[in-house]
Structure 1
Amino acid sequence: MSETKKYSLAEVKAHNDNNSSWVVINNNVYDVTPFLNEHPGGEEVLLEQAGRDASDPFEDVGHSSDARELMAKYKIGELVESERKQVKEKIPDWSSGNETATTDSTLKSWVIPIILAIIATIVYRFYFLS
C-alpha cells in the first residue's frame, strides 16, 4: 500500500491558476485542473478558491453525495499534520428550522383547532340552546 503524499499550504498556494489548480478540502489536497471545464458552477468558482483551503465554501454550497464521490478521482494527497484544521462534521438540516420550531409548529397545528372547536361549541350552546 502506498503512503499518501503530504503537502504544505505553501505548496498548495503555488497552484492557483488555470494551468494548475489545487484546493484543500477537509485537510485533503485535490488537483482540480482537469475538472475546471467540467465543474457545473463554472471554472471561475474553482479558480476563485485555487491555492487555498476551500473547505468552508465547499460545505456551504451543499454538494451532493455524487460530487463527494467524484472528488476521490482528483485527490493527490493530504495536508501536513502541523497545518491541519479540525474538520467539522456536516449533518444536513432538512427541516426549515430547528427542532424547537418543528415542535412548535406541530403543537400549533393541534392546539389552535381544538381551542377553536371548544369556543365554537360554547358559542353554539349559549346562543342556540338557551
Structure 2
Amino acid sequence: MSNVLTLAEISQHNTNKDCWLLIGGKVYDVTKFLEDHPGGDEVLVTASGKDATDDFEDVGHSSTARAMLDEFYVGDIDSSAITTTKKTHAPPKQMQNTQDTSSGFIIKLLQFLIPLVILGVAVGLRFYTKSSA
C-alpha cells in the first residue's frame, strides 16, 4: 500500500537538504540525487513543491532516468487535493505578410530587371570602349 500525500506536505520538502518532486502523480525524494543530477541541483529544488511533471517531460529524460525514479519513490499525491492543468502545445504564430500582391509582384519584377539592366550597361560599355579605340 502506498503513502498518500497532499500537495501541502510535498511543498514542505523544497530545499537542497530535503527535496521532493511530484511527477506524474507520484512523489519522489530526490535529496540524495541532487549532487549527481546532470542539470544541477538548482533545477530540482526549483521544481519542488509543485507539480513538476511538465518540467520533467519537457526535458526528454531517458528510460534510464525514468527507471531511477523508482528508488526515490515516497508515495502518491492525493488526487482530490490537486487539479492539474495539462499544457497544450500551441504552434508558433506565423508572421503575417502585410504586403499586398501587387507590390510583391513589382518587387519580384525589379529583382529580375535590375540585374539585366546592369548586365546590359556593362556589355554596352565594353563594346562602346572597343569601337571608340
Number of the residue aligned with 1:14: 12
Stretches of 4+ aligned residues off by more than 6 angstroms = none
Tell me if the contact between 1:30 and 1:75 (Cα under 8 Å) persists in the aligned partners.
Answer: yes
Number of the residue aligned with 1:45: 43
Provide the identity percentage.
45
TM-score normalised by L of structure 2: 0.61
1-structure distance, mates of 2:70, 2:44: 16
For these two proteins, the number of residue pairs brought into alignment is: 86
Q: Give ranges in structure 2 of 5+ residues lacking alignment.
A: 87-133
TM-score normalised by L of structure 1: 0.62
User: Which one of the candidate residues 26, 31, 34 is aligned to 1:33?
Assistant: 31
RMSD: 1.7
* Structure 1 residues 84 and 27, CA gap change in structure 2 (3 angstroms): farther
Q: Give ranges in structure 1 of 5+ residues lacking alignment.
A: 89-130
Number of the residue aligned with 1:127: none
The residue type paired with residue 46 of structure 2 is E
The residue type paired with residue 17 of structure 1 is T
Give, in angstroms, the shift of residue 85 of structure 1.
5.2
* Structure 1 residues 70 and 85, CA gap change in structure 2 (3 angstroms): farther
User: Which one of the candidate residues 52, 55, 68 is aligned to 1:54?
Assistant: 52
